Amino acid sequence: MYRFIDTLIRFLKKIIPEPVVEFFRPLYHRALAIFMAAAYRFPARKLTVIGVTGTKGKSTVSEMLFAILTEAGHKTALASTIRFAIGEESEPNKFKMTLQGRGFIQAFMRKALAKGATHLVVEITSESTLQARHWFLDLDALVVTNIQKEHIERHGSFEGYVAAKRAIVRALEHSRKPSRVLVSNEDVPETRAFLSARVPRAIGFSKSELAELANNDAGVSFDYGGTHFVLPIPGEFNAVNALAAVKLCEALGVSPEVAARALASLARVPGRVERIDAGQNFLVVVDYAHTPDSLAALYGAFPAHRKICVLGNTGGGRDAWKRPAMGKIADETCDVVILTNEDPYDEDPRAIVDAMAAGMQRPPHVIMDRREAIRYALTTAQQGDAVLISGKGTDPYIMGPNGAKTPWSDAEVAREELRDHSGETGS
């Protein structure tokens, strides 16, 4: 059904004038949400559905929840920015969209049920609320990781963005499920306000709850509730992400001890502080960091290293306010800054980079070809340095003008360039 509807809509969009499409768009999205949920017989009603939303940390928290619930013995499905998984089956998300529309999530939930899944972890974005994609998820629980300034043009204002996140909280309030749980960040005013939601249980989490917090290149550790946690991914922000996942699972009856076991053996989260190791004597890390806060957090996770930073600015035509801000953070934190192309869409990529450079005191290296930029960073690195490649994470394409998509992977390009560089130096 999903594939038929998707093909039909793509065809209709080619023959129906855009003004007509735009006029009926709101009605179309809502009608489609109702129709597809009914067509797949409302599968969310038979699953324990856990939503994850927030400006940053969604994918990492989703992976943590998936790991903990699996460790607890639940066959769990996952629909995230990074991948779609049902138990041990997994495939990458190549839609360049977190929550795909046209009934995809309803089809995925029905498939998960058919394969014996009892739980679903699903990332929910502010964008998805504009197309009613969060309708009929029948949430049992929701984690709100944080809210930072982002997607301002899309939602009209920061207040509009917060309102879109609040719509997801309302979806939890209105869910048919009886034992609903909200876990929300107490350290951010907007998400702290969500804790007044009309749900049976609203639980806050805060960095201040983490005892004996310690971070190094190999990972981060902390104590919570008498249990010691060790994560094989660095960054104090990942300890906070873990706390959110642990508290949610605790509310669902999973003990902190089980959560600690799951997190200790957590597989690498692709594109999220992902270490690229080809035997080199310096660190190489790929991360999705695409906001000023997430960029600062990434750089702060490696305080002991000389940093060589490769970055652009995700999303031509939107969130132009953050370009000089991100340039300023890189300028103040990194020893070498390399600005490059990212996802210009229909905007001039050099103009995006120039706007980033406007926030810098030192002139950056500007290398518009992203592969060449990564190559330069790797060949410049010395023993003990950290090469931090940010902005794309697992995004499978570089988005260009008129819908052009160039297949891409920061991690694979880094591995290829490391192999080539190693071969050159070894010959």
Q: How far apart are CA 40 and CA 267, in angstroms?
A: 32
Give per-residue pLDDT as tens, 126-175: 999 989 999 999 999 999 999 988 878 788 899 999 999 999 999 999 99
Radius of gyration of the chain (CA): 22
How many beta carbons lie within 10 A of that of residue 351, not counting itself? Answer: 12
Q: How far apart are CA 418 and CA 423, in angstroms?
A: 8
Residue 123 pairs in a beta bridge with: 52
- Alpha-carbon separation of residue 156 from 11, 150, 153, 159, 318 (angstroms): 30, 11, 5, 8, 11
pLDDT of residue 52: 98
pLDDT of residue 322: 93
Q: Tell me the residue length of the chain.
A: 427
Q: How far apart are CA 321 and CA 153, in angstroms?
A: 10
The CA angle 171-174-179, to the nearest 5 degrees, is 100
Burial of 194 (0-12, 13-18, 19+ CB in 10 A): buried
Please write down the long-range contacts of 198-201, taking CB distance under 8 Å and 24 or more positions apart: 198/173, 199/172, 199/173, 201/251
Domains of the chain by start residue, with CATH = 2-264 (3.40.1190.10), 274-426 (3.90.190.20)
pLDDT of residue 427: 36
pLDDT of residue 100: 86
Q: Residues of the chain whose pLDDT is less than 70?
A: 1-2, 8, 11-13, 20-21, 23, 423-427
pLDDT of residue 13: 67
pLDDT of residue 27: 86
Q: Reduce the DSSP state of residue 337 to 3 states and report it.
A: strand
Q: Is the entire prediction scored with pTM above 0.85?
A: yes
Helices (H), 94-235: 104-114, 126-130, 152-155, 158-173, 189-193
pLDDT of residue 152: 80
Q: Reduce the DSSP state of residue 426 to 3 states and report it.
A: helix
pLDDT of residue 425: 53
Are 5 and 34 within 8 A, CB to CB?
no
pLDDT of residue 20: 67
Q: How far apart are CA 39 and CA 341, in angstroms?
A: 42
pLDDT of residue 23: 67
b or e along 80-111 (b: 16 or more beta carbons within 10 Å of the residue's beta carbon)? bbbbbbbbeeeeebeeeebbbbbbbbbbbbbb
Q: How far apart are CA 31 and CA 33, in angstroms?
A: 5
The position carrying tokens 């192999």 is 419
